[in-house]
Amino acid sequence: MKLRTLGSVIALGVGLVAGAAMAEYPERPINMIIPYGAGGATDISARTIAEALGTAAGTPLIMANVTGAGGATGSVAVQNAKPDGYTMLFARVGSHSVNPAMKATLPYTLDDFRFVTVYEINPVACAVRPDSGIESMDDLVAKVAEGGVSYSSSGVGSLLHLAGAMVLKEFGVENPLTEATHIPQQGGGAAATAVLNGTATFICTNTSALANFVANNQLKALMVTTEEPVVGFDAPTANELGKPRLNALVGWTGIAGPAGLPDDVSAKWGDWITEAAQDAKFAETMSSMGSVIDVMSPDEAIAFINNQYSVFRALVDELGMRIEG
Amino acid sequence: MSLMDSLAAGLSLVGNVEAFLMLFIGLVVGVVAGAIPGLSATMAVALTLPFTFAMTPINAILLLLGVYKGGIFGGSIPAILIKTPGTPASSATILDGHPMAERGEAGRALGMALYASCTADAVSNLALILFAGWLASFALNFGPPEFFALILFSLTIIAGVSGESLLRGALSALAGLLLATIGLDLVYGTNRFTFGDPNMMGGLNFIAVLIGLFAIPEIIAMAWNPVAHLGRTRALGKSRCTFADYAKSFKSIIRGSLIGVFLGSIPGIGAAPSAFLSYSEARRTSKNKANFGKGEIEGVAASEAGNNGVAGATLIPLLALGVPGDVITAIIIGAFMVHGLQPGPMMFILNVDIIYGLFIGLIVSSVFLLVVGSVAIRGFRFVADVPKRILMPGVLVLCIYGVFAVNNNIFDVGVMFVMGWVGYIMMRNRIPAAPFLIAFILGPLLEDNFRQSMLMSGSDPSILFRGPITWFFWALTAITVFAITRSTLRKTVPLS
Amino acid sequence: MSQKSLHLRLGIVASLFALFLVLYAIPSFVFAPSNVGNIILSPKFWPFVLAGLTGIVGLSLIFNAMTAASDAPFEDEEDVHPEGSAPWMRLGALAVIMMITMVALPRLGMVWTTMLAFAACAFLFRTRHPKAALVCAVVVPLLLYAFFAHVAGVAVPQGDFVRLP
């Protein structure tokens, strides 16, 4: 048995090498790199869509978490991979719009990747402790003027880091970097805990990370950044507060390949993702996690990300948040 | 709802074969995964998660908890047999477990590891059930200054695992602390010792450093002298752990369990420091102090009690506050949320049946662990009988696969090799590896919490003494440092 | 070797390393932004503290070697190695095996590379069971591949030449 398997294995391997040039994509499993840790929001989202995507593509997707440096380690692995469509990346707001906007030291730029889709949007909410005496964004801004306000994030260059500064800036705080203190934590869970135990005053992050705290009355939501209200969050939207520019402040997950990805591969991914998003189980899991499914075509995705990048970049340059060293 | 009603509601949820079957499967998967280096308990739980989406919530969570608990015990099997911890939490088990296996007492060490694990697991589960609410509100008092004081105290463990010379232990710890600074700075995001390599930006992978430091030096030592092991009695792994062994170590096991419960209920510390703390406490109070590190069975018992005591207790902040204590519970929170459950105080009111179902499942899990573990030991302990010159290349290959699997990155395999040579040089120069490892774990925590405290207070150091918890740990640190200094000065050869 | 000479050696190495860190490595490889408000928040602060402590421990080791450390050789010290320079050759060979492994992993793929590494190590250790070692060298990597790739779902590197299913 073992020998026969080995024999067929070698035969198959030789056959694959010989036929690689002419066979149609995809003719072997595709490596999907998740640049964040197992069990995180990106990971759950990626693994949920993987099954449906695999069915649509007709080949298994092999998921690989490559974590480190706020998503940079995994992103670099894809940046340097052969652009043959067999190594793709689950890109996230942190790794592909906040990080490029904030870090001059980042080993990649947006131009090193070719996006094939963005498939989910995560609304962002800001929250404080219910006993903090802060009832609204205006209260928060008033408190900033008094001094001693801080916000937690999952690290420098994370969405949470930028979101805290951006929200304060939009609500009229002249220089959020000096008037409020940024207290980075190791990871999103620790960031929420920091507000819970009083280390930081407020947090702005994906609603999915806050949902259970808000439901349990451990945290109070002050606003959400989307146009539409978010279920479970009894808080005004950015538009109701007259700050529509904050609509750009949302999380997302998409799929990208290295820059030289051929057009036909990109087009195929566009088709697969449309098909996969129809999957009922995927839709159910995503909405229970608080995400909005919004499948974009390759062109829409590129436009969406570039727009968000330029908004973030403008803010970073205005506030002098860019990290050079 | 009264307690009896809650219990009945819980029973009705778990009172079916399927729930217990899931728990059992979870334990088996966990023990096997834990026994394979590189496939840590964390990875096993993460890989199991997608399978649970289709199950009922209670089955899903029991399955994941089974994998978690099994994984923490399973890690001790390779730690004892081939000096390669299957999971970071079992690195303390190496210190005495592996010397025992070298003496031909693999069966005895594994048996003790299992009994200590099950006892600690039971203690931990009881603590969860009885004190969840109280411990959770206590845990929320831990901000960065309290963490800083706690971790500073934990660093005194280094004295306990330094072996024959405190100075060489301190040197080892400093090397670990320095190595842990590699990566992106927490507060400013700038590069520290990354040399422009994107792979270094995330810091060195913990598992790669761990395996490199403990397993690879053995392989290198084999190249130095391939026949060194031949003269020694390396009898078959037939020895067993007796009741007398268990009774002798019972005090250490209970102490280790309580340390585990305490550290487990505070988010962000994890099982490895707990195991080391338990180990050093057992050593400090033992009559056979000199024998620790050379194959003392009480050391195995204390380490395993320390890390398994954490397993039940990490559920305290999870259930009572919705706060994950470590990576594994973060994944388990994901499972709760996928099923529309929101862990936190309200869960004790809204989903009390699930909570009590979980409690019942947890109590049963300690018993199941005993059964699964005994079978696993029987299966694995004959690894000790494989000819060593074939076993070692096998360990090398296993380490390559395992370290790669942790983060799917070939760079980590290189880190493991380099750390292997560092570990070998340390071994040749009689520098103990355990302080290095403890410092590598605790160093970033110490620095991060210090700087977070400074951010909170606007660089006013008095925040480090802001409340009774910090005072308590500062006092404990002072007493320990005093005791260490006095005992070293008293020795005939000072500071050695 | 005695404790005295060991501590003297370690102390000198540690002190020199601390100097190297303070004078060269930290200034060149740890980057701090120009707008750091307080020195204790700087990314360089903690590395400097550690370098300082390393220096102190190094000096203490030297001091200890000068004063208190015993001059008697360690009891469990191995005697002069009977094989002369052969052990050093084997260490070198193992280092070369590891380097070749690193180069070959992405190109040959993990399975084939580890097979070669296993066989090379087994013969380097002069095993008494060469046939069993060869069988293991083929079987162990294949079994591990089957487990990691198909049970654990890990993307094991396949290399450019022969792919496994």
pLDDT tens by residue, B323-371: 777 778 877 877 787 777 777 777 777 777 888 888 888 888 999 999 9
Check whether residue C49 and residue C93 sit in a common domain.
Answer: no
Number of domains in chain C: 2
Tell me how many degrees the CA angle A176-A180-A183 measures, rounded to the nearest 5. Answer: 115
Predicted confidence (pLDDT) at residue C15 exceeds the cutoff of 90: yes
Rounded CA gap, A34 and A66, in Å?
6
What topology is assigned to A124-248 in CATH?
D-Maltodextrin-Binding Protein; domain 2 (3.40.190)
Say if residue B432 is preceded by a cis peptide, omega within 30 of 0.
no
What is residue B207's three-state secondary structure? Answer: helix
What per-residue confidence (pLDDT) applies to A14? 43
Contacts of B411 (CB under 8 A, 6+ apart): B199
Highest mean pLDDT among A217-231, C6-20, C138-152: C6-20
What per-residue confidence (pLDDT) applies to A22? 45
For the record, the structure tokens of C137 come out as 């060298």
What per-residue confidence (pLDDT) applies to B238? 63
What per-residue confidence (pLDDT) applies to C78? 62
**Residue type present at position B211:** I
- Left, alpha or beta for C73 (phi > 0: left; psi -120 to 50: alpha)? beta
CA gyration radius, chain A? 21
Strand duo A220-224 + A124-128: pairing: antiparallel
- For chain B, the structural domain boundaries read 3-490
Annotate chain A with three-state secondary structure.
CHHHHHHHHHHHHHHHHHHCCCCCCCCCCEEEEECCCCCCHHHHHHHHHHHHHHHHHCCCEEEEECCCHHHHHHHHHHHCCCCCCCEEEEEEHHHHHHHHHHECCCCCCHHHEEEEEEEEEECEEEEECHHHCCCCHHHHHHHHHHCCEEEEECCCCCHHHHHHHHHHHHCCCCCHHHHEEEEECCCHHHHHHHHHCCCCCEEEEEHHHHHHHHHCCCCEEEEECCCCCCCCCCCCECCCCCCHHHHHCCEEEEEEEECCCCHHHHHHHHHHHHHHCCCHHHHHHHHHCCCEECCCCHHHHHHHHHHHHHHHHHHHHHHCCCECC
Q: Which residues of A touch C35 (CB under 8 A)?
A: 320
Q: What is the pLDDT of residues A56-81, one digit of tens each?
A: 988 889 888 898 888 899 999 999 99
Q: Would the CB atoms of A6 and C162 count as touching at under 8 Å? A: no
Q: Which residues of C touch B43 (CB under 8 A)?
A: 152
Average pLDDT over residues B159-163: 76
How many Cβ atoms are within 10 Å of B175's Cβ, its own excluded? 21
What per-residue confidence (pLDDT) applies to A188? 81
pLDDT above 70 coverage of chain A, percent: 92
Average pLDDT over residues B453-477: 90
What per-residue confidence (pLDDT) applies to A23? 61
- For chain A, the structural domain boundaries read 31-122+250-319, 124-248
What is residue B183's three-state secondary structure? Answer: strand
Q: What is the pLDDT of residues B439-462, one digit of tens each?
A: 888 888 899 999 999 999 888 889
Check whether residue C46 and residue C10 sit in a common domain.
Answer: yes
What topology is assigned to A31-122+250-319 in CATH?
D-Maltodextrin-Binding Protein; domain 2 (3.40.190)
For the entire predicted model, the pTM comes to 0.84
Quote the DSSP letter at residue B491.
S
What per-residue confidence (pLDDT) applies to C34? 77
Predicted confidence (pLDDT) at residue A7 exceeds the cutoff of 50: no
Beta-bridge partner residues of A113: A258
What is residue C164's three-state secondary structure? Answer: coil
Question: Between residues A135 and B210, which one has the greater pLDDT?
Answer: A135
Q: B87 and B304 in contact (C-beta within 8 Å)? A: no
Phi–psi pair at A87, nearest 5 degrees: -130, 110
Predicted confidence (pLDDT) at residue A305 exceeds the cutoff of 60: yes
Q: What is the pLDDT of residues B376-406, one digit of tens each?
A: 888 887 776 778 788 889 889 988 988 888 7
Contacts of C85 (CB under 8 A, 6+ apart): none
CB burial of residue C105 (10 Å; 0-12, 13-18, 19+): buried
Rounded CA gap, C40 and B216, in Å?
38
Q: Spell B420-444 as b/e; 16+ CB within 10 A means b.
A: bbbbbebbeebbbbbbbbbbbbbbb
Q: What is the pLDDT of residues B165-177, one digit of tens each?
A: 889 999 999 999 9
CA distance A323 to chain B (A): 7
Domains A31-122+250-319 and A124-248 fall in the same CATH topology: yes
* Domain contains C74: no
What is residue B192's three-state secondary structure? Answer: strand
Q: Would the CB atoms of C126 and B389 count as touching at under 8 Å? A: yes
Contacts of A234 (CB under 8 A, 6+ apart): A221
Confidence class for position C142, pLDDT limits 50, 70, 90:
very high
Closest CA to B49 of A36, A285, A75, A210: A285
Average pLDDT over residues B32-59: 77
Interface of C with A (CB under 8 A): 31-33, 35, 142, 153-155, 161-165
* Domain contains C44: yes
Quote the DSSP letter at residue C69.
-
Beta-bridge partner residues of A293: A120
User: Measured between CB atoms, which of B178, B390, B451 is closest to C50?
Assistant: B178
Is the complex ipTM higher than 0.90?
Answer: yes
Average pLDDT score over chain A: 86
For the record, the structure tokens of B416 come out as 């493991």
Counted across chains A and C, CB pairs separated by less than 8 A come out at 31
Give Cα A223 distance to the centre of its chain. 20
Average pLDDT over residues B197-206: 87
What per-residue confidence (pLDDT) applies to C77? 64
Q: C36 and C105 in contact (C-beta within 8 Å)? A: no
Confidence class for position B3, pLDDT limits 50, 70, 90:
low
| Residue recorded with tokens 């450019």 | C160
**Residue type present at position B167:** L
pLDDT above 90 coverage of chain A, percent: 47
CB burial of residue A94 (10 Å; 0-12, 13-18, 19+): buried
* Domain contains C57: yes
Q: B74 and B38 in contact (C-beta within 8 Å)? A: no
Find which of C154, C158, C164 to mutate to test the B interface (most B CBs within 10 Å of its CB): C154
Query: Of chain C residues 3-42, which have a CB less than 8 A from chain B?
Result: 3, 6-7, 9-10, 14, 21, 25, 29-33, 36-38, 40-41
Q: B155 and B440 in contact (C-beta within 8 Å)? A: no
Check whether residue C48 and residue C99 sit in a common domain.
Answer: no
Closest CA to B174 of B420, B438, B425, B424: B438
CA distance C72 to chain B (A): 12
Average pLDDT score over chain B: 84
What is residue B476's three-state secondary structure? Answer: helix
Residue span of the structural domain in which C105 resides: 86-151
Rounded CA gap, B453 and B485, in Å?
29
Closest CA to A152 of A99, A186, A213, A202: A202
Rounded CA gap, C82 and C72, in Å?
22
Contacts of B425 (CB under 8 A, 6+ apart): none
What per-residue confidence (pLDDT) applies to B484? 81
Q: Would the CB atoms of B417 and C102 count as touching at under 8 Å? A: yes
The torsion defined by the Cα of C105, C108, C113 and C115, in degrees rounded to 10, comes to 150
Q: Would the CB atoms of C40 and B447 count as touching at under 8 Å? A: no
Strand duo A87-92 + A61-65: pairing: unpaired
